[in-house]
Structure 1
Amino acid sequence: MIRKLRIKLIIASMVSLLAVLLVIMSAVNIVYYSQVIRDADSTLSLLAANNGFFPKSNHNAPPDEPFPKKEPPLSPELPYETRYFFVKLSQDGSVRSVNTGKIAAVDTSDAISYAQTVWAQGKTQGFADQYRFLVDTSSSEPLILFLDCSRGLDNFKTLLFSCIGVSLVGSLLVLLLLIFLSGRIVRPFLENYEKQKQFITDAGHELKTPLTILNADAEILAMDYGENEWVSDIQAQTKRLADLTNDLILLSRMEEEQTQLQMLELPLSDIAEETIAPFQAVARTQDKTLELHIQPMLSMCGDEKSLRKLFSILLDNAVKYSAPQSTISCTLERQKNLIRLSVWNAVERITKAQTEHLFDRFYRTDQSRNSQTGGYGLGLSIALAIVTAHKGKITASTTDETSLLITVTFPA
């Protein structure tokens, strides 16, 4: 149980870390990509406003022609750093002129091909390969400008892959730290849990001797003085204490990870019929009907003693806590690669919230699981331990709050 909690802690921490990293990486890369697009669009707008050329900067303008105030601040290096080309078209889309003087990677034919593709698409802005384009139709001759964004896009890809790489390496390091630190964190709880199980086992063994003596003394008193109310009560309570002690010891042993069950190939259908058959008579004495649907020739690898105990617990629970004059259904069948055991019985009332706690130790519902029925609230806990030891799964569910379905699945 402690190991499962440790695994859940590591998984929850890693999922949280990955979610935070995903948000951070997405935000950083989206902001960077948006900045690349904004810079490109700003440059294209500037070129479109000047008919495909950069305006003259302040230091190149004569004294009587100052830099226009309406233009945005222009870096003196921008015209020399920018690689672009543009194509002028007529209204019908035919090429009027091409300018590729500011780029070496594109010739006239390539420029015309890009322009015709963009014009056919009908878009005014976007990407054509690594070139950001802008279609300016403010004049009589449409102007299509293409700006080389390969450097910005390459930087974006580098940033993206760097973020992914750093995140993966960081996540791996955090995972290793979590594995190391979580072991130290849960160690005190694990030690306390092991001490608790050891105490239950030791105390159970210590209680067996006085309980045996008490039972023997009660039998001697009954022989000497005859049966009476007090002797019978002593014998009944001694038996209850012995059964409770045995259940606690069994549960503690089943939950020990080092417990070695004798796993053999077993005729599960035959074991189920032999174990469940006596409960039909018990159900009949209580005006209840037990219906069995056991698929023949089923087999699985398991521990026979534990599986018999599992069948007994589930059927005893169903008969003991089912509603009066009701029907109990037990089904054992193969479904694909699973063996499914289901026990259904009607109850007076059980909520979905209560079904989530049925496998807790000493848990009882308010109405159907009380001490008058003779139970201790350990049966389903032992069933859970047996199923877990066989790599299976057990669940409890209710659809109408007046019936209970216990389902067990084993790998076939």
Structure 2
Amino acid sequence: MFNRLRNRFLIVNMAIITIIMLIAFASIYTITYRNVHNDITMDLNRVSEFFKPSDGMMGGEPREDGDGGPPHGGKNKDMMWQPDRTVSFSLQTDEEWNMTATDSRFDMDEAFYTDAINKVKASSSDRGQFSLDGNEWAFSVQNTMTGYNIVFLDVTAQQTILMNLIYTFLAVALVMLIVIYFTSRYFANRSIAPVKEAFDKQKRFIADASHELKTPLAVINTNADVLLANRDDTIREQAKWLHHIKSETERMKTLTNDLLYLTEIDDTREKMLYAPFNLSEAVESVILTMEAVIFEKNIELSYEIDPELVMNGNGEQIKQVVMILLDNAIKYAGSQGLIILALKKRATDIQLAVTNTGEGIAPEHLDRIFDRFYRVDRSRSRKQGGYGLGLAIAKSIVEQHKGKIHAKSVLGKTTTFYVQLV
């Protein structure tokens, strides 16, 4: 599925970029083409003016070229524009397109002139271009009293510029498309990676939630079958099975409430209203709430809280984070264990640290203990009533407050959870 999504992204991206490049290249080529042809037209006009036959030459008499020839159009050639930097010549023909005179600075055979006249005759236009002997020629036809005066201008260089421009565009487009393809593929993979990760987490979440619900449902179903099998017994006699059903129902209620809470946190992440509150008092109130449980478990508690620490956030949610961390510490500290809580002001933030003695957490599990439903020891966690959602809830709340949470552990000794709050 994700491969198809990536391929669609690549196809759409490449299509859009290709269209943009085509429009850009076509615009550049069109502008260049017009400029080149405007230059050709200007040069052709100048050449036509230079080779324009004088009134005395309208009869089709051959004209001499070179400095010794008569002036063109009755004007001194030195006073006129000279086509020294162009390859051009002029041919005079009668009305049947038979060549009667030439005016050229270059030695060309008569067959070349004849082919040029035939090209012009075939075009049936006063201006145009044709290819001859590997060169591109522009021409202009002028009517005379005895036929036609045809001026030719070599525009091979200009046409070469246009062709080179096309080849350059093709080469640049090919290189750009290759670079863009691999660049787009790289960024497509990076863009899809979070989506794929979220999708995988969602699948795992659904599978884990289904698994967690399946166990209490199986217990409830089994105990209900026992009740139905002994219909004649009194409620007092069936109390054992009813208590099992009640216990599993409470566990399912806890699970569904936690799941709903996680969903609410995700949905209200951008809508939550924050206000300044006294963090020191909030943490102390949680400790007072948990003292009875800690005493009952025969666990020693030590805490150090900097007074009057104020932060901007949701006080009740932060209290829940502290309660989750303390509850987790109580579960894993064991009988006669030790819990140390410290709330300290640092340079730019406030740090809450909750440490408990116990078995510790292996390094390979430290990065995953905040994932939903993840538990280091599933059987032990289930006996203690855990679903692996507490730390996930704590992480969501801390991140919602733009803070960070992580854990460090020494196997067989201690585990410490650190929370940095702005």
Q: Which has the larger radius of gyration?
A: 2
TM-score, normalised to structure 1, is 0.47
TM-score, normalised to structure 2, is 0.46
